[in-house]
């Protein structure tokens, strides 16, 4: 955990510097950040970050390299949202690890979950840079994975998002983007790569084409940077002006089918020392007696919705038998508090973000700090030295 850098940062911290940091971040990202930003970055060794990135890549390849898994995951795609033209592999991948301290005293990763959906690729780049700038942190601390730097990261992301098209003909598709907590990422995406966030309901369909209004003109869309979460689309009863099943004349930067294929559904299929024991609820003949060590999770939810710790018989009985295939029972990952702060040691969850074009490349870490049962920023309200954070990495 690089204790020398940790002690130095903690000693230099003042509430005034933190407020100035948040103000600068919001100025950089074009407005208020509507989730809690942690007071501190986390300082990690290159060895630990490379280990997490390598473990995540192994898990991803277990799934994408299995024809059996691909066939089984067909059942995860709702018929109403089964889009044609599915790619051979996902473009975006996220693998979330909790850090725990093993019996030997060393920190090791434990899988929380993984998903094939875009994350905060623009905001996280700016976020990490703002920590360095505001706190005047030591040179030699890296923000990227996979041997990337600012220029090569930006070029890789431009290839992935734009696919060779004019940025004007590429849109970031979301539900009511101006009111999403992730809006700072949308602002940065447009600044870096010229791609504008557009409300899915504002698209215009003409035959097989989709178009959008831009500066008083109706512009054809060649490629969609997909940020629309189907669960939210259904829950909010939003009706798009197109049918996902149609053969539209657009490319997907992140084909929507992969959101379902690589998800909590994947957890029982994985075999690795970093993966906690997980079962589909409908396939369990006998429930574990030590319920305090397990978590019940719906397969298709976002930001921790519907997760139940220490599920009781009543919790299980409340799920109809015909819906039990939509839940998993997972051994609980008990994070070890490993980040020393003035408010005591804090837990951290590390997301390794990947882009898969020619090869599977880890590009950035995204962090959540917390002291509650769950690590999402919504679950650590009214606490300090918790929330969204960034990793700063020191080479040997």
Task: For the chain, give the secondary structure using H, E and C.
Answer: CCHHHHHHHHHHCCHHHHHHHHHHHHHHCCCCCCCCECCCCEEEEHHHHHHHHHHHHHHHHHHHCCHHHHHHHHHHCCHHHCCCCCCCCCCEEEEEEEEEECCCCCEEEEEEEEECCCCCCCHHHHHHHHHHHHHCCCCCEECCCCCCCHHHHHHHHHHHHHCCCCHHHEEEEECCHHHCCCHHHHHHHHHHHCCEEEEHHHCEEECCEEEEEECCEEEECCEEEECCCHHHHHHCCCCCCCCCCCCCCCEEECCCHHHHHCCHHHHHHCCCCCCCCEEEHHHCCCCCCCHHHEEEEECCCCCCCCCEECCCHHHHHCCCHHHHHHEEEEECCCCCCCECCCCCCEEEEEEEEEEECCCEEEEEEEEEEECCCCCCHHHCCCCCCCEEECEEEECC
Higher pLDDT among residues 2 and 39, named by residue:
39
Same domain, 78 and 192: yes
Q: Is the pLDDT confidence value at 388 over 60? A: yes
Q: Over the chain, what is the mean pLDDT?
A: 93
Q: What are the pLDDT digits (tens) for 204-223? A: 999 999 999 999 999 999 99
Which of 331, 357, 372 represents a domain boundary (last residue)? 331
Same domain, 189 and 237: yes
55 within some domain: yes
Same domain, 211 and 293: no
271 within some domain: no
Average pLDDT over residues 154-178: 98
- pTM listed for this prediction: 0.94
Same domain, 314 and 343: no
pLDDT, residue 381, reads 66
50 within some domain: yes
Query: Among 151-155, 258-262, 368-372, where is mean pLDDT lowest?
Result: 368-372
27 within some domain: yes
Same domain, 92 and 158: yes
Q: Is the pLDDT confidence value at 366 over 90? A: yes
Lookup result for tokens 């999770």:
297
Same domain, 14 and 74: yes
pLDDT, residue 138, reads 77
83 within some domain: yes
Same domain, 32 and 114: yes
Q: How confident is the model at residue 327 (pLDDT cuts 50, 70, 90)?
A: very high
CA angle 352, 300, 117 (to 5 degrees): 35
Q: How confident is the model at residue 376 (pLDDT cuts 50, 70, 90)?
A: low
Average pLDDT over residues 128-157: 95
270 within some domain: no
Q: Of how many residues is the chain composed?
A: 396
178 within some domain: yes
pLDDT, residue 23, reads 97
Q: Is the pLDDT confidence value at 107 over 90? A: no
Quote the percentage of the chain above a pLDDT of 70. Answer: 97
Q: Is the pLDDT confidence value at 377 over 80? A: no
385 within some domain: yes
Quote the percentage of the chain above a pLDDT of 90. Answer: 85
The two tokens of residue 59 are: 């898990």
Domain count, the chain: 2
Same domain, 387 and 291: no
Average pLDDT over residues 94-122: 92
230 vs 205: CA distance, rounded Å = 19
Same domain, 185 and 288: no
Q: Are 297 and 307 in contact (CB under 8 A)?
A: yes
Higher pLDDT among residues 372 and 109, named by residue:
109
Same domain, 344 and 199: yes
Average pLDDT over residues 193-200: 98
313: containing domain:
277-331
Q: Is the pLDDT confidence value at 304 over 80? A: no
Average pLDDT over residues 238-265: 96
């Amino acid at each position: 955990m690089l204790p020398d850098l940790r002690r130095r940062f903690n000693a230099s911290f003042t509430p005034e510097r933190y407020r100035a940091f948040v103000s600068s971040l919001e100025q950089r990202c074009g407005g208020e950040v509507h989730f809690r930003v942690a007071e501190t970055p986390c300082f990690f060794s290159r060895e630990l970050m490379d280990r997490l990135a390598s473990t995540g890549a192994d898990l991803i390849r277990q799934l994408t390299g299995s024809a059996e898994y691909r066939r089984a995951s067909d059942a995860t795609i709702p018929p109403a949202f089964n889009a044609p033209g599915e790619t051979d592999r996902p473009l975006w991948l996220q693998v979330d690890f909790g850090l725990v301290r093993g019996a030997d005293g060393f920190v090791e990763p434990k899988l929380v979950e993984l998903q094939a959906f875009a994350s905060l690729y623009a905001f996280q780049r700016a976020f990490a840079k703002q920590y360095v700038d505001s706190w005047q942190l030591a040179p030699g601390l890296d923000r990227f994975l996979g041997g990337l730097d600012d220029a090569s990261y930006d070029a890789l992301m431009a290839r992935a998002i734009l696919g060779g098209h004019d940025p004007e003909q590429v849109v970031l598709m979301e539900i009511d983007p101006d009111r999403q907590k992730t809006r700072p990422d949308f602002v940065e995406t447009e600044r870096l790569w010229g791609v504008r966030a557009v409300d899915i309901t504002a698209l215009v369909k003409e035959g097989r084409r989709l178009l959008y209004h831009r500066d008083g003109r109706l512009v054809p869309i060649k490629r969609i940077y997909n940020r629309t979460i189907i669960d939210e689309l259904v829950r909010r009863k939003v009706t798009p002006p197109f049918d996902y099943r149609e053969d539209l004349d657009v490319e997907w930067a992140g084909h929507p089918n992969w959101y379902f294929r690589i998800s909590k559904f994947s957890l029982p299929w994985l075999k690795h020392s970093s993966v906690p024991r997980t079962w589909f609820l409908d396939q369990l003949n006998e429930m574990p007696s030590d319920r305090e060590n397990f978590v019940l999770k719906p397969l298709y939810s976002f930001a921790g919705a519907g997760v139940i710790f220490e599920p009781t018989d009543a919790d299980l009985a409340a799920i109809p038998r015909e819906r039990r295939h939509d839940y998993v029972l997972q051994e609980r990952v008990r994070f070890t508090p490993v980040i020393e702060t003035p408010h005591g040691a804090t837990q951290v969850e590390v997301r390794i973000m990947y882009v898969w074009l020619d090869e599977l490349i880890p590009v950035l870490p995204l962090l959540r700090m917390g002291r509650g049962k769950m690590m999402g920023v919504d679950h650590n309200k009214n606490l300090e030295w918790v929330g969204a954070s960034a990793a700063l990495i020191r080479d040997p």
